């Protein structure tokens, strides 16, 4: 019985020494990124060290090319600029691995491998670093002002007037009011020179348009168009309009073509083709792009479409590459865990087999002793009977 207890104690000791894993004594927490894309990297990783490893020296660094290759990854160039340090008191739970860089990080996503060496053992931990872009603040309106913008390419002043609530009866007056309140947003302060990307204030438009009659608005449109044509005479082509001109109000990157207005036409046959009625304010067409601009826009659209297609192909390629690397990493981790489990199983099986052999041996010895004692007693009885006779 004493031998059996001794064997059980030996088995428990072997299971404690060989069954545990070293990784439980040292572990890393989740990555906490504290910076954004386009700025120097700032990140921390909690580091947990067991009490039995306090006082031991350990080395923390970014993974090498060989470490990345072991995990099925490619080491990105941005790792070269990272500084890895350990901060905090060792005999506490406040140990951190701090990651920093001197230069701004312009890569939105990359794989980071942290390598920790302690007492002859090595721990590799893989993180996926994702940096969010810094939000660009929109220009806030001052006080209670209302602001429209930025002006897009091809967007006309009439389009903007309609977007902020003007009707067909008030669109020309709202356009004039916008121009009067934002002269600095126009080239040469001309309402036909609207700058792309500018912002337009529209404070109390109702009060502003009450001071502008439809006739005054049409007159201002004609005067501004005449001034715009005179300053751009070298780029204008002659036109043969017979009716008074009410031009479209468009951004400065295009040269609007003058269009007829119906109230005062001199040609009765052409008057029937006017787009406005005599008893309504002049309306201005919203489509004023020339054929040259349309061709440029089509070429630009085609170029962007090609870039989008190329980016989509690159995205699919990167996704396939990422899936392959992820599968390789998962496969490697599973292989390591299976090998560890197999080793532990073999140790446990060997210990159980040894205990079973010792137990069976102890049983055989006990049975042999009892048989010898029984045989000796039988001999003693037979010898006593012979002596009695």
d(CA 319, CA 301): 27
Measured CA distances, 293 to 237, 255, 289, 296, 297 (Å): 15, 10, 6, 5, 6
Query: What are phi and psi for residue 85, nearest 5 degrees?
Result: -135, 160
Give the angle subtended at the CA of 284 by the CAs of 281 and 289, to the nearest 5°: 175
Residue 8: predicted pLDDT: 62
Report whether 297 contacts 304 (CB < 8 A). no
**Bigger pLDDT: 51 vs 103:** 103
Report whether 183 contacts 224 (CB < 8 A). no
Report whether 205 contacts 174 (CB < 8 A). yes
The full 3-state SS of 19-88, as one line of letters, equals HCCHHHHEEECCCEECCCECCEEEEEEEEEECHHHCCCCEEEEECCHHHHHHCCCCCCHHHHHEEEEEEC
The 10s digit of each residue's pLDDT in 222-238 is 888 888 887 766 444 44
The 10s digit of each residue's pLDDT in 287-312 is 444 567 777 777 788 888 888 988 98
The 10s digit of each residue's pLDDT in 55-77 is 677 789 999 999 999 999 999 99
Does the predicted model carry a pTM greater than 0.75? no
Q: 23-135 maps to which CATH number?
A: 2.60.40.10
Residue 7: predicted pLDDT: 61
C-alpha dihedral over 139, 140, 145, 150, to 10 degrees?
A: 30
Neighbours of 173 (CB within 10 A): 24
Domain boundaries, the chain: 23-135, 147-289, 291-389
């Amino acid at each position: 019985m004493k031998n059996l207890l001794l064997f059980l104690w030996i088995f428990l000791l072997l299971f404690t020494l060989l069954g545990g894993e070293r990784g439980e004594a040292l572990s890393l927490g989740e990555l906490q990124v504290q910076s954004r894309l386009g700025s120097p990297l700032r990140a921390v990783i909690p580091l947990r060290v067991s009490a039995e490893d306090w006082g031991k020296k350990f080395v923390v660094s970014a993974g090498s090319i060989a470490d990345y290759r072991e995990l099925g990854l490619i080491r990105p160039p941005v790792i070269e600029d990272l500084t890895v340090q350990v901060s905090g008191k060792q005999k506490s739970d406040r140990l951190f691995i701090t990651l920093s860089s001197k230069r701004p990080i312009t890569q939105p996503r990359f794989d980071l491998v942290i390598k920790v060496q302690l007492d002859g053992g090595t721990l590799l931990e893989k993180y996926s670093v994702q940096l969010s872009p810094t939000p660009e603040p929109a220009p806030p309106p001052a006080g209670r002002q209302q602001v429209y913008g930025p002006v897009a390419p091809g967007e006309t002043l009439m389009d903007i007037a309609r977007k902020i609530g003007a009707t067909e009866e008030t669109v020309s007056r709202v356009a004039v009011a916008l121009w009067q309140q934002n002269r600095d947003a126009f080239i040469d302060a001309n309402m036909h020179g609207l700058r792309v990307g500018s912002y337009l204030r529209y404070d109390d438009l109702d009060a502003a348009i009450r001071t502008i009659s439809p006739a005054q608005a049409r007159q201002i449109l004609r005067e501004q168009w005449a001034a715009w044509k005179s300053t751009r005479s070298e780029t204008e082509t002659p036109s043969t309009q017979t009716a008074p001109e009410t031009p479209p109000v468009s951004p400065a990157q295009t040269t609007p073509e003058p269009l007829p207005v119906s109230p005062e036409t001199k040609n009765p046959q052409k008057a029937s083709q006017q787009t406005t009625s005599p008893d309504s304010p002049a309306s201005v067409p919203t489509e004023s792009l020339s054929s040259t601009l349309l061709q440029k826009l089509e070429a630009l659209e085609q170029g962007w479409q090609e870039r989008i297609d190329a980016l989509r192909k690159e995205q699919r390629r990167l996704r396939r590459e990422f899936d392959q690397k992820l599968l390789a990493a998962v496969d490697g981790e599973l292989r390591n865990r299976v090998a560890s489990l197999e080793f532990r199983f073999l140790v446990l099986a060997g210990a159980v087999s040894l205990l079973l052999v010792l137990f069976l041996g102890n049983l055989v010895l006990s049975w042999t002793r009892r048989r010898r004692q029984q045989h000796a007693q039988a001999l003693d009885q037979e010898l006593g009977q012979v002596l009695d006779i």
